[in-house]
């Protein structure tokens, strides 16, 4: 029993050092890391002091966040010649840039495709007043792209913003398409308004954090 206790205490300290090392290397505060995991900063503080161990699901989330394997968080890296600390700072600038450049390039790609489609619509004599609708559709697809990236890399408020953008751009597209033959198409905006309220309520009152 004593040996098990010693091994457990050692594991706590190893995990504590690794979490602290990676958090600092990624420029995160305890509160910032807690926000990404949907936990409280008190929980992160306990992990880093070696008072408790994250459960298996949280260890997997931490490993994914730090671009590691779970085993890397459970290994005493101070005993190795090459530590995670030696590697992380070199990839950290790339990760920072990636979180900005990849979403921007994805949005630009959406609008590039929309421009190509617009060109072909005009070439085949589609009425000009209808051809530009493709750019509204590009706003929809760009919003979906940004929702995915914000859920993975950014704060929840960005997910709320892009979800709202998706809602209104989708409604605008549907309105433009249906207004020509349906005089009640404006009701789509009323539906969007109600859905917007749901979005706000969801992101303000979402499930409480685990302590």
60 within 8 A of 54, measured Cβ to Cβ: no
Secondary structure (H, E, C), the chain: CHHHHHHHHHHHHHHHHHHHHHHHHCCCCHHHHHHHHCECHHHHHHHHHCCCCCCHHHHHHHHHHCCCCHHHHHCCHHHCCCCHHHHHHHHHHHHHHHHHHHHHHHHHHHHHHHHHHHHHHHHCCCCHHHHCHHHHHHHHHHHHHHHHHHHHHCCHHHHHHHHHHHHHHHHHHHHHHHCCCCCCCCHHHHHHHHHHHHHHHHHHCCCCCEC
Claim to verify: residue 137 and residue 64 sit in the same structural domain = no
| 42 within a domain of the structure (yes/no) | yes
Residue 80: pLDDT band (50, 70, 90) is very low
Q: Give pTM, 2 decimals.
A: 0.50
Same domain, yes or no: 122 and 172: yes
Domain boundary among 54, 80, 106: 80
More confident residue, 106 or 205: 106
Of 66, 70, 79, 80, the residue nearest 21 (C-alpha): 66
Instruction: Output the domain CATH number for residue 48.
Output: 1.10.260.40
Question: pLDDT confidence of 210, banded at 50, 70, 90?
Answer: very low
Let me know whether 136 and 115 are in one domain: yes
129, 181: one domain: yes
Decide: 72 and 63 in contact? Cβ < 8 Å. Answer: yes
pLDDT at position 79 over 60: no
The answer, yes or no, to whether residue 194 has pLDDT greater than 50, is: yes
Q: Is 86 a member of any domain? A: no
The whole-number pLDDT of residue 68 equals 84
Classify residue 52: in a domain, yes or no: yes
In a domain, 210, yes or no: no
Q: What mean pLDDT comes out for the span 95-115?
A: 82
**Of 46, 80, 114, which residue is a domain's last?**
80
Least confidently predicted of 24-38, 98-112, 118-132, 182-196: 118-132
Nearest by Cα to 203 from 138, 155, 148: 155
| 57 and 29 within one domain | yes
Identify whether residues 112 and 188 lie together within a single domain: yes
Count of domains observed in the chain: 2
From 80, 104, 128, the end of a domain falls on 80
**Whether residues 97 and 200 fall in one domain:** yes
**pLDDT in the model for residue 95:** 58
Higher pLDDT, 128 or 67: 67
4-46 per-position pLDDT tens digit: 444 677 888 888 898 999 888 888 888 888 888 888 888 888 8
Q: Within this chain, do residues 53 and 105 fall inside the same structural domain, yes or no?
A: no
Could you tell me if 100 and 190 lie in one domain? yes
Range of the domain at 59: 2-80
pLDDT in tens, 148-157: 888 777 777 8
């Amino acid at each position: 029993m004593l040996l098990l206790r010693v091994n457990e205490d050692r594991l706590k300290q190893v995990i504590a050092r690794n979490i602290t090392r990676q958090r600092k290397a990624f420029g995160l505060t305890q509160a910032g890391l807690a926000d990404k995991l949907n936990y409280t900063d008190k929980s992160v503080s306990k992990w880093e002091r070696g008072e408790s161990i994250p459960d298996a699901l949280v260890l997997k989330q931490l490993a994914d966040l730090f671009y590691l394997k779970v085993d890397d968080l459970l290994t005493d890296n101070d005993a190795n010649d090459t530590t995670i600390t030696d590697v992380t700072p070199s990839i950290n600038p790339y990760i920072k840039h990636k979180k900005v450049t990849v979403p921007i390039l994805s949005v630009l790609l959406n609008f590039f495709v929309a421009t190509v489609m617009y060109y072909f619509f005009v070439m085949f004599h589609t009425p000009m007043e209808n051809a530009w609708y493709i750019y509204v559709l590009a706003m929809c697809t760009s919003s979906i792209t940004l929702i995915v990236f914000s859920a993975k890399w950014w704060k929840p408020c960005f997910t709320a913003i892009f979800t709202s953008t998706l809602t209104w751009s989708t409604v605008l597209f549907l309105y433009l398409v249906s207004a020509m033959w349906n005089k009640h198409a404006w009701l789509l905006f009323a539906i969007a308004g109600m859905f917007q309220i749901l979005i706000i309520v969801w992101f303000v009152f979402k499930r409480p954090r685990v302590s």
